């Protein structure tokens, strides 16, 4: 639960997707076995810290949907409002900020793609993050950042306080 006067963003890159079928459209690529494990690990991480999203804004691509489904299985005691938004598939940091400003719940999870997710994440904290993985924003990486605002319309780059940065322990191809 987010304290009054705060808004919390859980910003996640999709988990590792499969490249088994080179003819498959990028939009339709599913998660591979490592990705499914990482999505569940992210869900366990969020649940262990009481970081349950109340609203989810997710790219409609198959790998982002499957990432959310993996997280959802571990974290949810109640179902959040979920929106699949086409603009997250190719939208940049400006688009992501505008989508965030449409959120209505205090704790929002956004699931998207690189390079936009890494670029957006880098704009949010008031202080730089010195973690090697943060710059790469590997698959399933997740930034948890708090804002001292009453409403998402007040969200601005460079004003967030980093609560945590998660990368799954599942490695390899």
Residue ranges covered by each domain of the chain: 7-17+26-166
User: What is the arithmetic mean of pLDDT over 64-81?
Assistant: 86
**Exposed/middle/buried for residue 124 (C-beta within 10 Å: 0-12, 13-18, 19+):** buried
Q: Does domain 7-17+26-166 have CATH number 3.40.50.1240?
A: yes
The SS3 of residue 134 is helix
User: CA-to-CA distance for 97 and 55, rounded, in angstroms?
Assistant: 15
Query: For position 126, what pLDDT does the model report?
Result: 95
pLDDT per residue over 162-173, tens digit each? 999 999 987 554
The model's pTM is 0.94
Query: For position 83, what pLDDT does the model report?
Result: 97
Query: For position 173, what pLDDT does the model report?
Result: 44
User: What is the arithmetic mean of pLDDT over 146-157?
Assistant: 97
pLDDT per residue over 99-150, tens digit each? 999 999 999 999 999 999 999 999 999 998 888 889 889 999 999 999 999 9
């Amino acid at each position: 639960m987010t304290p009054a006067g705060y808004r919390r963003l859980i910003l996640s890159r999709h988990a590792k997707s499969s490249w088994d079928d080179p003819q498959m459209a990028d939009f339709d690529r599913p998660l591979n076995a490592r990705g499914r494990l990482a999505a569940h690990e992210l869900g366990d991480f969020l649940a262990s810290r009481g970081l349950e999203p109340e609203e989810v804004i997710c790219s409609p691509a198959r790998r982002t949907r499957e990432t959310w489904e993996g997280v959802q299985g571990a974290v949810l005691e109640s179902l959040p409002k979920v929106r699949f938004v086409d603009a997250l598939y190719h939208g940049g940091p400006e688009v992501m900020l505008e989508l965030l400003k449409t959120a209505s719940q205090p704790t929002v999870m956004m699931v998207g793609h690189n390079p936009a997710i890494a670029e957006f994440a880098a704009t949010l904290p008031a202080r730089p993050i010195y973690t090697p993985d943060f710059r790469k924003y590997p698959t399933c990486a997740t930034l948890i950042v708090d804002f001292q605002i009453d409403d998402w319309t007040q969200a601005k780059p460079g004003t967030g306080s980093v609560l945590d940065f998660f990368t799954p322990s599942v490695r390899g191809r």
